[in-house]
Every structure is written in C-alpha cells, then in structure tokens.
Amino acid sequence: MIFVDACFGKKTPYTPVWMMRQAGRYLPEYRAVRESAGGFIGLCKDYKKASEVTIQPVDILGVDAAILFSDILVLPMEMGLELEFVAGKGPVFHNPVLTKEDIKRLDVKSAVKNLSYVYDTVKLTRDNLKKDKALIGFAGAPWTVATYMIEGGSTKSYNICKKMLYTQPELLHEILAKVTEGTKLYLENQIKAGVNAVQIFDSWAGALERDVYLQFGWRYILEIADYIKAKYPEIPVIAFPKGIGSYLDSIGGNFDVFGVSWDTPIRMARNKLSDRYTLQGNMEPCRLYSKETIKSSVTKILNIMDGYPHIFNLGHGILPDVPVENAKYFIKLVQEMSAR
C-alpha cells in the first residue's frame, strides 16, 4: 500500500493523497445513504451503510486511503453521554461532564465494548476495499474530545473547560485520563478489526498556550501513541494537532506521521520535522472552491515537499459546498504531478 509506505518514509511511485472529511455532505451519494439511515448517528451505527460511505470517496475520487466513517464523539457517547446532532448547531451533549460524580459515571469498559458497530464497519470495509488502498482508523485526541464533553457541544471561547483547567486542573486531568484509557483500547480494537493506520485528531490543540497544551493535550496523545507503537509497530500512527505551528520545536515522540494544518507553512514544518516524520497536509480547504487555486497550491506544496516523505491532504476537513468535480480534479492533479 503506497499510503502505508509513505507513512514509514519509503519511496513511492507518487505522493499518496486523501482528504479529511472525504466521506461527507459534498457527495450526493453520501447524502442519500445518510438520509436512508435516518441521520448521522444512525449512519455511524449501521455498519453496512457506514462501510458503504467509507468506500465512496475511493470509488468516486480515487483517493489512496479510505478513512473509517464514524465520529470522534461516538466514544464519549458510548461512555454514557447523550449525543444529538442539531441542525445548524452541530453536536450537543445533553449531560455534560462537570463534576467528580459526572466523571465517575463515565463507563470506559462498556463504551469500548459497545462500539462493536465501529469494529464491524472496519471488518466489512477491509473485506470490500481494494487491496492497494489503505483503511485509516481514528479517534479524537483526549483534549479535543474533552472540550465537547465539558462544554456540551462546540464552543468558540472554551470558557467552561478553560475555567476547569485553571481552577480545577486535577478534575480536567481525570477526564483526560479516562478518555485516554478508552482511546487506547478503542484504537486497539480498530487495529484488531483491520485498519492499516490510525489518526489522532486534536482539532482544538491551538486553543491553548504552548506549555498548557503540552501538559493537557500533547502528553495524552504521546501516551496513546506509545501504547499503540509498543504493541503494533507495523501500524503507522498519525498525530494531527491543529494550529500549533508556532512551536513545532517542542514536538517529538513515538509516532510516524505529523499532520500539518493549513495555518502552518509546510516549508517550516519540513525544515523542523522531516528528518523524523512523514508530513501530511496541508492545502487550505477553501482552495478547493477554484481550480486555479487548487493548481497553484498543489504545485507549491509538491515543490516544497519534493524528495521529502509526504502524504498529500488538506490542512483540515473538506467543506460541504465544495463541487465534487473540484475534489476529483485535486486528487488526480496530485497523483499526476507527483508521479516519478
């Protein structure tokens, strides 16, 4: 699999490419299956339909890897938090975690077991996916997942979880430790079911000061990565802490691929990290709105990463109103322009 080879820094015939959120609303085929499953959570729980939408971008766009269709929030949901996706608002947890008692109620063991629909999705997808295409499993990083658990949904200011961080840091660490424990076992079960790599999404890493992030965010990612690498050295681990470009010098640890978000110049990431990690990224997702800006960005990024270990991707997820034709153009352009 050229995706896995690239994760380990091996030479590949071209630069493999996939997109974060590649199974999603910009695809009419996705919207049709989601409708038939009665909504997003229903789709995550229906392993046959989840597997179908996982494979859609491989068939429609020709990406080099499929990413398991699910969400980072199914883990806390199965720990006992009541999750709803509200139109126009995003995810809502009706019983957020604010006290010691709330933390006690979080049931890690049951969650890991109850996520069997995810493992079934992985098995079926690996059976149906072309042999040369990788299947990426994933989880949210404990910090990002905890922001939803504590705030009860998406937030712009993070004031509830930051208040906990600065006034009751040990309480936040308890939540993070519990999510970390669940995430290790959850990713391990995805690997046992057949994923070829795992990605840890820390979408809100950039919301914290450097030293605070290293202590409350990054260290838990490293703990998960250490656990996976010790048991499954052949499975690449991709770390994606979004928005920490200003302190790449503080970044190290036992993982294989570093995801570069679009706010970080990839040349800078290359200079600081390419001797140790394959880089993944980092086209600004809104460049997909125009073929001209796709072409200028792909050309620039490929030039900078020429000869360095690289997986092409966006610097965050694809947006729902991107024309499918532009996404197709992007994938084909990367594969053709990088052919060696």
Active-site amino acid positions:
21, 25, 34, 71, 148
Least distance (Å) between residue 271 CB and ligand CP3: 26
Interface with ligand CP3, residue 73, by CB under 6 A? yes
Residue nearest to ligand CP3 (CB): 203
Query: What minimum distance in Å lies between the beta carbon of 198 and ligand CP3?
Result: 11
Under rule CB under 6 A, residue 25 binds ligand CP3: yes
Site for ligand CP3 contains 257 (CB under 6 A):
no
Which is closer to ligand CP3, CB of 15 or CB of 121?
A: 121
* 122 counts as binding ligand CP3 under rule CB under 6 A: no
Q: How many CB atoms lie within 10 A of CB 119?
A: 22
- Among 56, 183, 196, 203, indicate the residue that binds ligand CP3 (CB under 6 A): 203
127 in a labelled binding site: no
**Binding map of ligand CP3 across residues 80-119, x = CB under 6 A, - = no contact:** ----------xx----------------------------
Q: Say whether residue 243 binds ligand CP3 (CB under 6 A).
A: no
Residue closer to ligand CP3 by CB (options 180, 274) is 180
Using the rule CB under 6 A, is 138 a contact of ligand CP3?
yes
Residues 6+ apart with CB under 8 A from 218: 202, 205, 241, 251, 253
Choose one: 18-26, 94-102, 164-172, 288-296; the region binding ligand CP3 (CB under 6 A): 18-26
- Confirm whether residue 148 is marked as ligand binding: yes
CB of 312 to ligand CP3, least distance (A): 15
Of the candidate spans 14-22, 215-223, 229-237, 276-284, the one that interacts with ligand CP3 by CB under 6 A turns out to be: 14-22
By C-beta, is 72 or 221 nearer to ligand CP3?
72
Q: What is the 3-state secondary structure (H, E, C) of the chain?
A: CHHHHHHCCCCCCCCCECCCCCCCCCCHHHHHHHHHCCCHHHHHHCHHHHHHHHHHHHHHHCCCEEECCCCCCHHHHHCCCCEEEECCCEEEECCCCCCHHHHHHCCHHHHHHHCHHHHHHHHHHHHHCCCCCEEEEEEECHHHHHHHHHHCECCCCCHHHHHHHHHCHHHHHHHHHHHHHHHHHHHHHHHHHCCCEEEEEECCHHHCCHHHHHHHHHHHHHHHHHHHHHHCCCCCEEEEECCCHHHHHHCCCCCCEEECCCCCCHHHHHHHHCCCCEEEEEECHHHHHCHHHHHHHHHHHHHHHCCCCEEEEECCCCCCCCCHHHHHHHHHHHHHHCCC
Residue ranges in contact with ligand CP3 by CB under 6 A: 20-25, 34, 40, 67, 69, 71-73, 90-91, 138, 140, 144, 154, 201, 203, 317
Task: Tell me the binding residues for substrate.
Answer: 21-25, 71, 148, 203, 316
